[in-house]
Structure 1
Amino acid sequence: MRKVEVVAYNPQWGEMFVAEAEHIASVLGANIVAIHHMGSTAIPGIHAKPIIDLLVEVQDIEQVDEYNAAMERMGYQAMGEFGIATRRYFPKENLEGVRTHHVHIFPAGSEQVKRHLMFRDYLISHPEDAQVYSKLKQDLAQQYPTDIEKYMDGKDGLIKILEQKARDYFKGEQL
């Protein structure tokens, strides 16, 4: 079981994203369409697990597999789709074995990309809902400090509500 740590917002998370995005871009090169900061570390003012989530849009998802060894040299573990069709997932840990980054790679413009970006952008533009999400994460981390699965399951209901709010809010807009 992984320790569940939720901490106050750190303004350096944005800089950490930029630095890691540059490393990812140097590996994946011309296949990249865009790299986005997603997840709670991308939402100013809320508590988060201190793990930088990068969402990478690529032209050719199959081509990503050719870069597994290069990603592993950067400290990432190549996990393939890892439960989500058409995704390539790469977690990274520091020398102490603490998770520091997640890279999620999807085909450009896919529904998964839209879903993640809508969720992030909705919470950025609706700080009241972002704070509700932040509080739930703090409570769950305290309740399940060593059970990441129960922590994740505990967020599921609110995430579904917030995703629906995001879909309604962005209805008709092109992301």
Structure 2
Amino acid sequence: MHNKRNCYSSSTDNDEYLKKVTVGRRKSHNAPIELVDYNPNWVDLFGKEAKKIKSILDNKVLQLEHVGSTSVPDLCAKPIIDILLVVADSSCESSYVPALESAGYILRIREPAWYEHRLFKGPDTDINLHVFSEGALEINKMLRFRNWLRTNREDREKYAKVKRELAQNTWENVQDYADAKTEIIERIMKRANSNIL
């Protein structure tokens, strides 16, 4: 959701960063971004994945949430289910990675410098499984952004407008598209944060 690469001054720097944190071979996107209208079936797809992940990791799952645009009714999105998984220590890969991999999940991103973030792709449903350690600041940011968009129609529509405009461009990496949304996300988060009691 948030741009973690503000320190990278050019797309070349960003590309180098992505190469560094990608596990396995990275493919360039080199196309516009496919956005579709909200689909209520996304809730069911999340539920199916959540059940599977809980059965694999059992009590290692401290929190499991549907996040990202597919978790916000009436918001256009890439048809990829974003899932937030919180474990005790995401840097301790031996405690959860082998179990997920044996069930077909593929570790694609390892970012030690950004809250020890790990990202997996799913074996069946097209998902981004984001793994963070308990207490990571990004957890609350993701949930606050999701919850605000669910309840604030004006910001939801502003965000959708920017997403649709940006999606028409050709993006070498999908992450570049995500990073291009930073300005609108920060403006929305500022309003969301000012409305917290």
User: TM-score band, normalised by the shorter chain?
Assistant: 0.7 to 0.9
Residue of structure 2 in register with 1:80 after alignment: 110
Greater mean alpha carbon deviation, residues 100-109 or residues 71-80: 71-80
CA distance in 2, matches of 1:74, 1:127: 38
| Distance verdict in 2 for CA 1:123–1:29, change over 3 Å | same
Residue of structure 2 in register with 1:32 after alignment: 61
TM-score after normalising by structure 1:
0.84
1:155 is matched with which residue: 161, 181, 192?
181
Letter in 2 for 1:36: E
| Distance verdict in 2 for CA 1:22–1:126, change over 3 Å | same
Q: Deviations over 1:19-61 (max 9, x none)?
A: 0011111122111122110000000001000110111122343
**3-state DSSP of counterpart to 1:135:** helix
| Distance verdict in 2 for CA 1:83–1:7, change over 3 Å | farther
Q: Deviations over 1:109-165 (max 9, x none)?
A: 431111100000011110111111112111211223665244223211101111222
CA distance in 1, matches of 2:162, 2:134: 31
| Distance verdict in 2 for CA 1:167–1:29, change over 3 Å | same
1:133 is matched with which residue: 159, 169, 173?
159
2:143 is matched with which residue: 105, 109, 117?
117
Greater mean alpha carbon deviation, residues 17-26 or residues 147-156: 147-156
Residue of structure 1 in register with 2:97 after alignment: 68
Residue of structure 1 in register with 2:17 after alignment: none
Greater mean alpha carbon deviation, residues 119-128 or residues 61-70: 61-70
**3-state DSSP of counterpart to 2:82:** strand
2:44 is matched with which residue: 2, 6, 15?
15
5+ residue gaps, structure 1 = none
1:91 is matched with which residue: 121, 136, 141?
121
Paired residue total:
167
Letter in 2 for 1:47: C
TM-score after normalising by structure 2:
0.75
CA distance in 2, matches of 1:88, 1:65: 13
| Distance verdict in 2 for CA 1:112–1:91, change over 3 Å | same
1:80 is displaced (CA, Å) by 2.8
Letter in 1 for 2:181: K
Q: Compute the RMSD of aligned alpha carbons.
A: 2.2
